[in-house]
Structures are given as structure tokens and as C-alpha cells.
Amino acid sequence: MEPPSTTSRPADAVDAASRTRGRRHPHRLQGSLFQPIGDEGRAELVERRLVDAITRGHLSAGERLPSEADLARSLGVAPVTVREALLALRGRGLVVTRRGRNGGSFVADHADPLSFTREAVRETSRLALRDLGAHYAAITGACIRLAARRADPSEAQQIRRRLERLDQLDTEQRRRLLDDVQIELVALSQSARLTREQMKLQAELSPYLRLVAQESADALRQAEHLTAVAEAVEAADEDTAVARTELMVNETVDALIALQVRLA
């Protein structure tokens, strides 16, 4: 198996999603959205997949969705199934359809992922939040340990250089860079299976990370953790890399629980 590099997509699905969206620099987490649904290809599953992408912020307000044909092909379902799912999303006010030359289906302008995430934090138990953190730390820690064993030091150096420009970006760009860097670090494990699992977890946790790092200082704190992880991977220091990863996850979960208390 050819090892994935920090400059390439960690899974084939990411490239497929990139072509579907037609963006010049698509977000890597789109790969987890456009994985085929398979034999259970029902409108409800397509609807749920798109709702998750919108409420988690992976499809932004005002963003144009792929065409029905492209969505059907990516998700492995019939176009009529996609059409039915989009009809349900329009009924829920999450998607609008515009006619004309530049028409299509778009995420509604009022779709605010932070509002959805705050509500999710309010309704989720502390045990469930800690369980999410434990799952994320276990998978990410295993990947990072392998990365420290297998990665070329120059690959980790490239990741650290990307993080150096974080303070030049706006809030949305910072979040996407931090998500991408986490996936790139995991890709250094040279495990396609673990990388795909990490992409799914990152898509799930990303809205929570966004919620607790709206301020620049909090985003920079996350960047400090990732920089330390990259430095440990570069030095082949498995224990330090894993310990810093766990610290980052624990801080995130503690911040979510503190936010939950405030929301209550």
C-alpha cells in the first residue's frame, strides 16, 4: 500500500467529493459526507446525511449543493431518492431551490450550524459527551502513535508550517485548517482504514470544536496542541504525541460541559 502524504487526500472519497462540489479547495471532511449509502439507499438516509452536513457546518449557509445526478452517483442511490430527500429538506427550511441559469439547490441562508450545535450540547448528557471524547481520543491516539513510528520527519514539518499561518485566517478558514491538519497528521499513520474512521469522527466532532473555539485565543490553543503533536511525530516520540492528543480532547470535552452548564 502506498503511504498517503500530507499533500494528498487521505481517502479516495475525498477526491470524489471535491469533484462533486466543484470547489477549487474543498474541505476534506466532505469526504465523509459523500460516502456511498449502499443498499439502504432510502430518501430518509439521504436526508439525514445532508441534514448532518448542514447542521455540522460542513455545508455552509448559501452554499450550492451538487446536482441531483451528482449526489445520486456519489451516494449510490437513484436520482428519484435524492429528489425526495431534497423535497423534505425544503419542507424543513434547510434547503432552497432557485431557478434559472445559475439555479439549483442551496443551503438556506439562515442555516446556522452553531445554533444546531448549541442545542445538541444542551440536550446531550455529560456521559455522552465524555464518551464521544473517549472514542475520538482512542482512534486519534492510535493513529498518532502509528504516525510517530512511520512518518517521514519532513512530512510533519510541512504540517507545522501550515499551522504557522493560522493567525492570518478568518474564523471559518481557521476551523477548516485545524480539521485538515488533524486528518493530515492521522494520514501519516499510513493506515487507510484508520484515516477513514478519523474522517468520520472529525466530521462529528468538528462542530463542537468550532463552538468552543470561536475566539481566536481558543483556536490558537488548539493549534498549539496540534503543533506539539506534529513536533512529537517528527521526533518519533509516540508517548508525547498521544499524551498531547488526549490533552487536547480532554480540554475540548471540559469546555463543552462548561458551556452546557451555562446554557442550562
3-state DSSP of the chain: CCCCCCCCCCCHHHHHHHHHHCCCCCCCCHHHHCCCCHHHCCHHHHHHHHHHHHHCCCCCCCCECCCHHHHHHHHCCCHHHHHHHHHHHHHCCCEEEECCCCCEEEECCCCCHHHHHHHHHHHCCHHHHHHHHHHHHHHHHHHHHHHHHHCCHHHHHHHHHHHCCHHHCCHHHHHHHHHHHHHHHHHCCCCHHHHHHHHHHHHHHHHHHHHHCCCHHHHHHHHHHHHHHHHHHHCCCHHHHHHHHHHHHHHHHHHHHHHHHHHC
100 plus 185 within the same structural domain? no
Q: What is the pLDDT of residue 150?
A: 97
172 plus 199 within the same structural domain? yes
Show the domain range for 75.
Answer: 36-111
For residue 25, is it within any domain?
Answer: no
Which CATH number covers residue 80?
1.10.10.10
Which CATH number covers residue 183?
1.20.120.530
188 plus 207 within the same structural domain? yes
For residue 81, is it within any domain?
Answer: yes
Q: Which of 55, 76, 111 is the last residue of a domain?
A: 111
127 plus 227 within the same structural domain? yes
64 plus 122 within the same structural domain? no
Q: Which of 86, 111, 136 is the last residue of a domain?
A: 111
For residue 9, is pLDDT > 50?
no
Q: Which residues, 6 or more positions from 170, have their beta carbon under 8 angstroms from its beta carbon?
A: none
Q: What is the pLDDT of residue 32?
A: 55
pLDDT in tens, 49-68: 898 888 888 888 999 999 99
79 plus 162 within the same structural domain? no
Task: Report how many domains make up the chain.
Answer: 2
207 plus 253 within the same structural domain? yes
Q: Which of 111, 131, 149 is the last residue of a domain?
A: 111
pTM exceeds cut of 0.85: no
105 plus 205 within the same structural domain? no
For residue 29, is it within any domain?
Answer: no
251 plus 157 within the same structural domain? yes
For residue 240, is it within any domain?
Answer: yes
For residue 1, is pLDDT > 60?
no
136 plus 226 within the same structural domain? yes
> Which of residues 37 and 84 earns the better pLDDT score?
84
For residue 203, is it within any domain?
Answer: yes
pLDDT in tens, 80-93: 999 999 999 999 88
Beta bridge partners of 184: none
Beta bridge partners of 107: 95
143 plus 236 within the same structural domain? yes
pLDDT in tens, 187-233: 999 999 999 999 989 888 888 998 998 888 999 999 999 999 999 99
